[in-house]
Copies of this chain bind each other. A is one copy, B any other.
Amino acid sequence: MKKINVGLIGFGTIGTGVVKLLKKNRNEIMRKTGINVQLKKIADLDVTSDRGIHLEKGILTRNVNQIIKDPEIDLVVELIGGVTKARELIIKALYNGKHVVTANKALLSLHSRELFKIADKNNRMIGFEASVCGGIPIIKVIRESLVANKIKKIMGIVNGTTNFILSQMEEKDLDFNKALQLAQKKGFAEANPDLDISGEDAAHKLQILASYAFSTDIPLKKIYFEGIEKIDIQDIRYIQELGYKIKLLAIVKMDKHNRIECRVHPTIIPKDYLLASVKDEYNAVFIEGDASGGQIFYGKGAGSLPTASAVVGDIIDIAKSCEESRGASYSEIFDLHSKIVIKKFADFSCRYYLRFHTKDQPGVLAQIGKILGNHRISLTSVIQKETGQKVVPIVMLTHLAKEDDIQRAIRSIRKLKIVKNPVKIIRIENSD
């Protein structure tokens, strides 16, 4: 029986889940894997709250050094979140010869290259399955199950908060603010929901997924992201009428010339796509390999026990790995395709949904259509309905167009006197 001594830093929601899971299924894990996971120490600033777990005396401490500097601890689980302090702790742990398991996506999306280099230098591993989509084993799938594939595309619903809000807007015909309040009430959105709503959290996860899948280090600031805060219920209704649904998708794809594009934005997809059926707080990732074809991995992307399931999976993986056969180290992997070109925002192409509010007078369509045509943008559908109002909405879906052309065309259209604010642009994915 192999033993691994674990120190846990951060005894919050996920930390509590990890401790509960290790207690509950300890024998099962030992029998299945031959590995005895021994939780030796837990560090947290709060050592008094009752988390509903009986801990032996001396396990809980306020002093992280009792973990970082304990020579008997083999592996540190970092669950305090945040960037600065967590980075310091992980670096110290690695230099002290400890493996690290973390769920910290914000940290990894900024500093993974640095951290993996330090891990390599110290011949330690960093497990980070829990950093993307909680309990869904997407990192391991990319690293191991799809190892024989060149990844061509990833398209994921990687943020439960925004997926819950969009689902509620669609199903219950709620406006954005009401749906957000409901998400907060149900615990799916934070009191300050900006990181989720803005798409930034999804961009963090995309940075990790895309860097790993394409063996390169994608700077976070090169990932375009746009949130769901401007999606209004009118758009949702038009999109439904057209046979589509709207999801906040994190997208990365590589073209024939090894150029990749990475972007997070509200995305319109056909309603018969499997991703379109992923509701509420659930996550799902579509991943296409050159041999495997398209696969989808679906489940709970957050929560105490689902995330703990991924953390414990990583602990076991590290305990089972042997030094001589760990393969290319993480920092080497990032350099494999260091010559990959990351496309600029202006060079993206996709189909677009455009919504204008115009004065109800003759020639409106002709004027808008002319500007779009001048920018090489052609249309697949137009909806304009009788409203009896002075200002009427027009919705258009385009063929494939360049982001740059769309932005220029919209700037010109906004200048037309007949066009009122707001003009809405939502991207469509349905090429595959």
- Chain A residues within CB distance 8 Å of chain B: 2, 17, 21-22, 24-25, 28-29, 31-35, 129, 135-137, 140-141, 144-150, 215, 272, 274, 277-278, 284, 289-300, 303, 305-306, 308-310, 312-313, 316-317, 319-322, 324-328, 332-333, 336
Tally of this chain's copies: 2
Q: Which of the listed residues A22, A25, A146, A149 has the most CB atoms from chain B within 10 Å of its own CB?
A: A149
Say yes or no: A278 contacts B289, CB within 8 Å: no
Which residues of the other chain, B, contact A309 by a CB distance below 8 angstroms?
Answer: 146, 148-149, 289, 291-292
Which residues of the other chain, B, contact A303 by a CB distance below 8 angstroms?
Answer: 293
Contact sample, A vs B, 26 pairs, CB 8 Å cutoff = A2-B325, A17-B291, A22-B148, A24-B290, A25-B149, A29-B147, A29-B148, A31-B332, A32-B327, A32-B328, A34-B325, A34-B328, A135-B295, A141-B141, A144-B317, A145-B310, A147-B316, A148-B313, A274-B277, A274-B278, A289-B309, A290-B305, A292-B300, A293-B300, A320-B321, A320-B325
Say yes or no: A328 contacts B298, CB within 8 Å: no
Say yes or no: A150 contacts B292, CB within 8 Å: no
Q: A32-B336, A320-B325 are in contact. Are A291 and B135 (CB under 8 A)?
A: yes
Say yes or no: A320 contacts B327, CB within 8 Å: yes
Which residues of the other chain, B, contact A274 by a CB distance below 8 angstroms?
Answer: 274, 277-278, 298
The chain B residue with its CB closest to the CB of A308 is B291
Which of B24, B147, B293, B313 meets A135, CB within 8 Å?
B293
Which of B21, B29, B144, B291 meets A306, CB within 8 Å?
B291
Which of B145, B300, B325, B327 meets A313, CB within 8 Å?
B145
How many whole Å from A347's CB to the nearest CB in chain B?
26
Which residues of the other chain, B, contact A326 by a CB distance below 8 angstroms?
Answer: 34, 320
Which residues of the other chain, B, contact A299 by a CB distance below 8 angstroms?
Answer: 292-296
Say yes or no: B144 contacts A313, CB within 8 Å: yes
Say yes or no: B35 contacts A327, CB within 8 Å: yes
